[in-house]
Amino acid sequence: MVNQQCHEVVVLGAGVSGIYQIKRLVDLGVDAVVLEADDDLGGTWYRNRYPGARFDSESYTYGYSFSRELLDEWHWKERFSSQPENLRYLNFVVDKFDLRRYMRFNAHVVQMLWQEDDRTWRLILADGEELTARFVITGIGVLSTPTLPSYPGMDEFEGDTFHTYWWPKTPVALEGRRVGVVGTGATGIQVIAEIADKVDELYVFQRRPNWSTPLNNSPISEAEMAQIRARYDEIFANCAASPNGFEHVPDRRGFWKVSREERMNLWDALYETPGFAFLAGNFPEIFLDEAANAEVSEYVANRIRQRVRDPAIAEKLIPRDHGFGTQRLPLETRYFEAYNRANVHLVDLSEQPIERVTKSGIQTTAGQVALDVIVWATGFDAITGSFDRLDVQGVGGATLRDKWRDGPGTFLGLASSGFPNLLMIAGPQSVSGSTNFPRAIESTVNWVTDLLVHARAEGVSRIEAQPQAETAWGDVVQRAHDRLLSRRSRGWFTGYNGNVSGHDAGKVRYVAYFGVGPKYAARLAEEAGAGYPGLDLR
């Protein structure tokens, strides 16, 4: 099957999205194949092998919900499972449903050309091979295009150096070595906390600090797993009803209606609760109201002050340029305590910027830091980056890259006008980037699959977003974004990446939909129920 050159559907990417998408298509008997650029499946969980990489969603809310048998067979061993286990899980799923034979690895699509005459996409792979497909469904991830800074001398360093996304598969010796980590986002925070007590000296190159609250991880025993299994229906119903796809629910008593003491009591409890509780179980006002946000930010700042012994270092670890919860919140395990260790050194780049990389370390304006290993935890060209690196030419040869230069335009994050028969799982302006990822993509995969079933039944061979529906969705995305304090943030949620030209601070690119999950799900259901008025079906 996989060697045919022409398919009804080509799915791009064998990560969390592609795996479920191919399962649905195979079950329906659709001729479909997954093309994966990497040499094996797993996407994010195949690539991010850095020490400390793990879920920050509760494991049992992250797993697929579509198969009772799968839920019964899999034992999550930790509340927040680690990367090796997550990759094992995805392999388990693929093997259980015999999906590997529909997957092609090292199949790196570099160009996609729309052929109006026969309503197909022509896909060109890096090795020159070509395929055609009626429909292309992308599952290329939201954080799959890592970015590196462009400091002079980046190529001159003679020690080991890599981006966290490209962490080598073979073990990297860190013991007894001087390691530099550049970047203090969710990735940097996980790496730093994990390796602080393993390396000889650890230098953290921090440009801006991030807010971060405890993950509060713990093992899951057989007995607890049995209780979780018995509760799966309830768990997934809770996730579907909650704003961000977790079991945590916001506290709706009203920030200003309860006393300051009651607010403090809630925060004390949430700080000790696992996962995103402190974010998702908080008062919704903290995301909208400056005064409420300032108060919660001060609470978290004080927690940092309590945990970091040197007051001067504590102050450097407290963000000043953005309030709590206005950028994607990293969760941590003894991250702040790492700075109490004599071998951990904070290099504050706001005081001593990096000048260059040298043969033997990193040179800042205050002098050279000698290093054996440099880890770049410098983030991603998020959400649109992987689309921008594909040469997608739609109707009349217009490119997706040009269309999205100042920010993406999509209908529900699922399709973009001018690019027929191209459907996106976790596309820009969907809810996927800002919620518990698998919860969002399962419903999107189901929606896209239903659409293809509808198309088949109705003899539809061309599906394109209606331009006016796309404009209307863009307005919804913008309104949802502009009401939140995060509108001013300089994180990837708002399309900022200082290492990618054109993605500058102060230039908002509306890359994600910040409306809540249930609202998005209702909008999808409404669209399908009405016969897809936002799509031109021919």
Q: In which residue are the tokens 């670890």 written? A: 317
Give min distance, CB of 131 to ligand NAP, in A.
31
Give the span between the Cα atoms of 63 and 295, in whole angstroms: 35
Nearer to ligand NAP, 105 or 162 (CB): 162
Give min distance, CB of 433 to ligand NAP, in A.
8
The single residue among 96, 104, 207, 488 that binds ligand NAP, judged by CB under 6 A, is 207
272 CB-contact burial (10 Å; exposed 0-12 / middle 13-18 / buried 19+)? exposed
In 3D space, the residue among 97, 316, 100, 52 whose CA is nearest the CA of residue 209 turns out to be 316
Backbone angles phi, psi at 394, to 5 degrees: -95, -145
DSSP-assigned states of every residue in 42-80? -THHHH--STT-B-SS-HHHHS--S-HHHHHH----BSS
Site for ligand NAP in 134-193 (CB under 6 A): 143, 149, 182-188, 190
Site for ligand NAP in 247-306 (CB under 6 A): none
Size of the residue set binding ligand NAP (CB under 6 A): 24
457 CB-contact burial (10 Å; exposed 0-12 / middle 13-18 / buried 19+)? exposed
The single residue among 47, 49, 54, 177 that binds ligand NAP, judged by CB under 6 A, is 54
Give the span between the Cα atoms of 311 and 363, in whole angstroms: 26
Cα 344 to chain centroid, rounded:
28
151 CB-contact burial (10 Å; exposed 0-12 / middle 13-18 / buried 19+)? middle
The single residue among 7, 328, 439, 481 that binds ligand NAP, judged by CB under 6 A, is 328
Nearer to ligand NAP, 123 or 349 (CB): 349
Question: Binding to ligand NAP by residue 492, rule CB under 6 A?
Answer: yes
From residue 398, alpha-carbon distances to 171, 360, 415, 529 in Å are: 44, 46, 15, 31
Give the span between the Cα atoms of 328 and 210, in whole angstroms: 9
Nearer to ligand NAP, 149 or 474 (CB): 149
Q: Return the SS3 of 358.
A: strand
Site for ligand NAP in 332-361 (CB under 6 A): 349
The single residue among 20, 46, 55, 387 that binds ligand NAP, judged by CB under 6 A, is 55
The single residue among 275, 319, 379, 428 that binds ligand NAP, judged by CB under 6 A, is 379
Please give the residue whose beta carbon sits closest to ligand NAP in the complex: 185
Part in contact with ligand NAP (CB under 6 A); list of ranges 51-59, 309-317, 414-422, 509-517: 51-59
Residue 493 · residue 486 · CB < 8 Å: yes
Nearer to ligand NAP, 91 or 499 (CB): 499
Give min distance, CB of 184 to ligand NAP, in A.
4
Residue 118 · residue 421 · CB < 8 Å: no
Part in contact with ligand NAP (CB under 6 A); list of ranges 86-94, 154-162, 410-418, 492-500: 492-500
Give the span between the Cα atoms of 274 and 217, in whole angstroms: 6
Part in contact with ligand NAP (CB under 6 A); list of ranges 89-97, 305-313, 378-386, 439-447: 378-386
Nearer to ligand NAP, 208 or 488 (CB): 208
Part in contact with ligand NAP (CB under 6 A); list of ranges 97-105, 408-416, 491-499, 530-538: 491-499
Which residues of this chain interact with ligand NAP, rule CB under 6 A? 54-56, 143, 149, 182-188, 190, 207-208, 328, 349, 377-380, 492, 498-499
